[in-house]
Every structure is written in structure tokens, then in C-alpha cells.
A = this chain, B = another copy of it.
Amino acid sequence: MPSVDKLQEEVTRLLDGNIRSLSRLITLIESTPDVLGLIYPKIRNTGGKAHIIGITGPPGAGKSTLSSTLATHIRESGRTVAILACDPSSPFTGGSVLGDRVRMQSHYTDPGVFIRSISNRGSSGGLSNSTYGITTLLEAFGFDVILLETVGVGQTELDVMKNSDTVVVVIVPESGDAIQTMKAGLMEIADIFVVNKCDRAGADRMVRDVRSSLQLNDDHSDLAPIVKTRADVGDGVLELLLEIDTLRGNPEFPQNIDRLRSAKRLDALRSSVLLEMESMLDTILTKDNPENEPALASLINEVEIGQKDPITAARALLNLIKGNK
């Protein structure tokens, strides 16, 4: 890791618009999220201007193509855009890398478009943490819009999506099974739904299904717009951008954005603490850790040999950690 002085210089260059410094700092934050603490004082007052748009949905829904076309329309409206594709650890990669290559073809001569893939083969909380740090960097650099794209619809993706101001959930007419497994949390954070590949059979039925599923919810998510697109030929994508901008342009948005950012900071705090707790716990549970006090060691042993049930033991363990028997 570079010295704090070198880091500060790199941050100064980033704030001056140096794209290489941005790239280097992203690489650093991706591997060492703690770096954020060292540069935060310099960048914290520059944030809050970008519109962070999350794009999520089941694999194969066409999210990459959609982001790319969306980026084209955002550029046409005179705004700069960064695309951050987050791919939770997968031994079978290829998707996001290939997606990047295709997107590169149309965007790589345009300095107003920045594209980056990040992945994390470690813990899922780590990916969400580094996403927080990286979007903070991209904002500090001055991008008007950040498209935050994830693969899949699991808990990790949900955590990553918490870094967005506006969440777009992309599905296709065949997504029945995928929708079935979509977690309740994902439906709740969706601001806009997209039914992509809408030329396929069942598109209208899918729109109706989403609508009626949303109406089962108690909150006001049943008002979320549903947009039909064909991202491959561009149909409906401008309409989608208009819906996104309408949400942003809503008179309530300027007040909401402060609330959103505060909530996002607390979410980042929450996931960082959980990550630390998890790593602390894993140290304690390391086979015969000599650092463990006798009471702790014997409690773990009792669970291991089946003498004490894990649920009751969990509370006892927590009390031992907190030091108050």
C-alpha cells in the first residue's frame, strides 16, 4: 500500500480529473476497503452530486446491453457516466468481461464514459463495502451518473444495490422461475421495473404479473413504473431514462437525496461492522485457538461434541465476548 502522502497526492490528481489516478484508487479500494478512511476527509464534501442508478435482475435478462444503451442516451443528454459492474465471486466468470468488451466497442473512444468491472472472491459483505468506496470515488471525480450493475439476484446483489439512489430491476418474459426466487427485499428496493426482450411471447403477461405481485405489498411500491424494452435494438430505453429522470426530478427528490445518502452511509457502516464481527467470530471459532479463554474454549467444545445445542450456546458465547457473564 502506498504511503498516506502518496495517497493524498493521488486523490488531488483524481479531483483534478486525472482518470489514471481514478483507476489506481479504484484498484486500491477494491483490494483494501480501509483505504477509504485515509482519503475520506479530502473527498467527502465533493460527493452527493451523481445520480447512482442500480441495475439488477436475474442472469440473462440483458442488463449489460441495457446499461450500455442507457449510457448512450445519458451521453446524448450531455451528462457523463460511469458503469460499475459488480460480479460477486464466481468461478465461472466470463459474463461481465465479455459484456465489457462489447460495450467498449461503442464507448471506448468517449472520455465521458468510464467502464469498470469489480469482483470479490472473498466475502459478499466485502463487495458491498468496496462498492461504497468506489462509488464515492466516482462521485468525487465528478461523474453525473453512475450505473451500478450486478449479476444475479442474491443477498450480495441486494447489499450492493443499497448503494444506489434509484434501483431498476430488469426481467424478461421467461423470468417466471427467477421471479419466484427473487427475495422479498429486492422487490422492496425496486423503484422501476423493466421487462426486457419484450418482443418475446409473454411480455404483457409478465407486466401484469409484476403489477399484481406489487399490488400485494403493503407499501407504495405498487406505483413503481414498469417499462418494456428491447435493449438490443434500443426500443424503450429512452423511455426508461425519462422515467428514471422523472423520479430524480420529482420535487421530493432533493430532500430525499439527503435522506438516501444518510441511509446509505449507515448501511455501509452496518455491513462494515457485520464484516468485522464475522471475521472476529471466525478467529474465535478457529480450531483450538490458543487465544480463547478457557470458558470460551470449553463452550465451543461442548457444542462440537454435541453436549450443548448451538442456539443456546450462541447467546452464552456472545456474553463471553462482551465480557459480561
Contact = CB atoms under 8 A, between A and B. Distances in A.
Given A88-B183, A268-B311, A277-B281, 6 more contacts: A34-B312, A58-B177, A95-B177, A262-B306, A269-B310, A273-B281
B36 A306 contact: no
Interface string A294-323: 000000100111111111111101100111
A89 B95 CA distance: 27
Interface in A171-203: 177-184, 187
Contact of A152 (B92, B181, B275, B323): B181
Given A178-B59, A273-B281, A303-B265, A36 B309 contact: yes
Contacts of A275: 314
A124 interface: yes
A269 B317 contact: yes
Majority SS at the chain A contact face: helix
A184 B91 contact: yes
Nearest to A280: B318
Nearest to A58: B177
Interface of A: 33-34, 36-37, 40, 44, 47, 58-60, 88-95, 121, 124, 129, 132-133, 151-156, 177-184, 187, 213, 216-217, 261-262, 265-266, 268-270, 272-278, 280-282, 285, 300, 303-315, 317-318, 321-323
Contacts of A44: 306-307, 309
A31 to B, nearest CB: 13
B261 A306 contact: yes
A117 to B, nearest CB: 14
B313 A91 contact: no
Nearest to A60: B177
B277 A318 contact: yes
A36 B183 CA distance: 27
A180 B59 contact: yes
A270 B88 CA distance: 22
B273 A314 contact: yes
Contact of A155 (B121, B132, B154, B182): B154
